[in-house]
Amino acid sequence: MEQKIKQMPKIDLHCHLDGSMTLESVKHILGREVRPEEIQAGDSCENLAEYLEKFTLPLQCLQTREGLQRAGREFLLEAAKENIRYIEVRFAPLSSVNEHLSCRQVVEAVLKGLAEAKEQCHVSYNVIVCAMRHHPQEDSLAMMKVCREFLGQGICAVDLAGNEAAFPMRDFRNLFAEAKKLGFPFTIHAGECRRVENVLEAVECGASRIGHGIALQGHPEAMKVCADRRIGIEMCPTSNLQTHAADGKTYPIREFMDEGLCVTLNTDNRTVSNTSITKEMLFVQRSYGITDGELERFQLQAADVSFADDQEKQRLWKLWKESL
């Protein structure tokens, strides 16, 4: 089973750059020894706050052009090792802006690293830029305007991430109304803190995908809204269990599928959660009875709701048909 899954062509639509930096990269950039537990959450993680602490050191590594470029390059090379054929990597440019780096320079550095890696591994990618909930919204809008110039040239969409419990979705209606005016597609982190209203608000604002969406569990009317609108649900099982967004015994992947939701399977943070798409596939098969055919459906749905252009989607669909 494991060998078969390793060989499958794969897609990952929800993966953070900072949470996926390799231990070797963090050590190299910081110039010191780093213990795995400093950047990995582990099974004993108590809550989302503890999980987020693991991003401290990786973010320190993303404060120079060299660090950003290296992170982008190694991210794609690591993804290639498990036969990922298309990946959407997300990061928050404003978290790397400093007196030496503008928003434009931050974005250019990451895109340069990704492009260098693609020449070696030929994995297709796009970048989702994250507005952070705790950042001033005028700064986030300025970031969107800069990144809009790269739309279709490496950047594919914008996202909203951060502390959902402290900053509910209703506070960001105006920001994403502006994103729509800019012609920027978007996905939104919502429903990770058990508040289904954040998911519905994100959908009403125009999100075509929802990051996590766990709070839809047990809400058939809300699930129907998402199913009817073909909203992509970016599920990240290992991360969801580590942050206690969901309980392992009642993880809603089967419920979501039965309700007709467009489920996709993703990693969230390859290093912080010590995972990969291969591990996520094996986990849901062993824990929730997901069949090979259902794993294939997740991948086809991922291609369908991705922010890739039509030519790339056709390539991915063809790739899957040839692999079956």
Q: How many CB atoms lie within 10 A of CB 186?
A: 24
| 203 token code pair | 């959908």
The answer to whether 211 and 187 are in contact (CB under 8 A) is yes
Cα gap 232→216, rounded to integer Å: 13
Catalytic residue among 74, 82, 192, 201: 192
E strand segments, the chain = 10-16, 84-91, 124-132, 155-161, 187-190, 209-212, 232-235, 262-265
Sequence letter at residue 10:
K
Catalytic residue check, 33:
no
H/E segment holding residue 229: none
H/E segment holding residue 286: helix 277-288
Catalogue the active-site residues: 192
